[in-house]
Structure 1
Amino acid sequence: MQLIGRLADSPELTPTSTGRDVIRYALGVSSGPRGEDGNRATSWFRIASFVEGAQRELLLSLPKGTQMYVEAEAKMDTYQAQDGSNRTQLNLLQRSFEALARPQNRSEDSTTGAESETNAVEEPLSGVGAS
């Protein structure tokens, strides 16, 4: 599965029951036409990663809103919930990623106190490669 979207929050490092660390993050992917409110529909994907070394440090340093390209292995798992019902969940295991752009800067207008986006072009994260 290939996704292009923005980080919902900074990736988090979590230990597993086997003692191996996993990085978990959510990616918001917009699609379809813009609605009356100017927004597009967004699908949210939870992704797990076991990258090591410099790739691990890079992924953990990315801030909320970073635009990313992710290649992941997709797998549907069925499990029984606490209420006894069967549930199905899409699990994504990251195979590679590339950070495409930093989040847009937001600044506050000192005269009105209103928050506004700067019109600066997003800077690519140079030197960032696929894992």
Structure 2
Amino acid sequence: MSAFASLRPTLRQATTAASAARTFSSSAARAAARITITGRLAATPEAHATSTGQDIIRYAVASSYGSRENRKTSWFQIASFSEDKQREHLLSLPKGTLLYVEGDAKLKSYEDSEGRKQTGLNITQRYLEVLQRPYADSSAEQFDNSEYGSQ
């Protein structure tokens, strides 16, 4: 019996460690991987309707890395199901806007038009933050005080 008594502290630690495996996270476990992207908006976002009639906004973000002579750019296609004010805000963002995007990432396999098997990365936006708007040409946009009641 004394041999089992010496194992009890070890078994108790293993049980405690297993139950505390997700104590660092307040969110539920998900089947999708998370991705974080910081980059520039490649073009103005576009609204589309899915086959079920749900509105979806698609946009591309370019993220560059490496030194100037060895710079590489990765392009990410992102889908957003934002509604109301968030939807209008996203659709109003101009090309070149610096974004911080968090999303769910899933790999999807498909066959292209030539019958070759391809794999694509589907990213669904969960969070979006505008870090910097592109610099506007100062001669193209003038601030009009009359619209705000200034004299």
| TM-score clears 0.5 | yes
For residues 83-94 of structure 1, the aligned pairs below 5 Å read: 83-94=114-125
- Tell me the residue number matched to 1:46: 77
- Tell me the residue number matched to 1:64: 95
Task: Give the unaligned 5+ runs of structure 1.
Answer: 109-131
Distance 1:63 1:86, change over 3 A: same
- Tell me the residue number matched to 1:120: none
TM-score normalised by structure 2 residue count: 0.66
- Tell me the residue number matched to 2:134: 103
- Tell me the residue number matched to 2:105: 74
Q: 1:28-55: CA deviations, max 9, x gaps? A: 001111117xxx3211100000011111
**2: distance between equivalents of 1:41 and 1:104?**
23
TM-score normalised by structure 1 residue count: 0.76
Aligned match of 2:46 in 12, 15, 20? 12
- Tell me the residue number matched to 2:19: none
- Tell me the residue number matched to 1:32: 66
**2: distance between equivalents of 1:66 and 1:35?**
24
**1: distance between equivalents of 2:67 and 2:135?**
22
**1: distance between equivalents of 2:114 and 2:72?**
31
Structure with the largest fraction of strand? 1
**2: distance between equivalents of 1:32 and 1:94?**
25
What is the RMSD computed on CA atoms of the aligned residues?
Answer: 1.5
Percentage identity across paired residues of the two chains = 53
- What secondary structure is seen at the aligned counterpart in 2 of 1:88? strand
Task: Give the unaligned 5+ runs of structure 2.
Answer: 1-34, 140-151
**2: distance between equivalents of 1:19 and 1:88?**
26
**1: distance between equivalents of 2:137 and 2:40?**
16
Structure with the largest fraction of helix? 2
Structure 1 residue 104: Cα displacement: 2.1
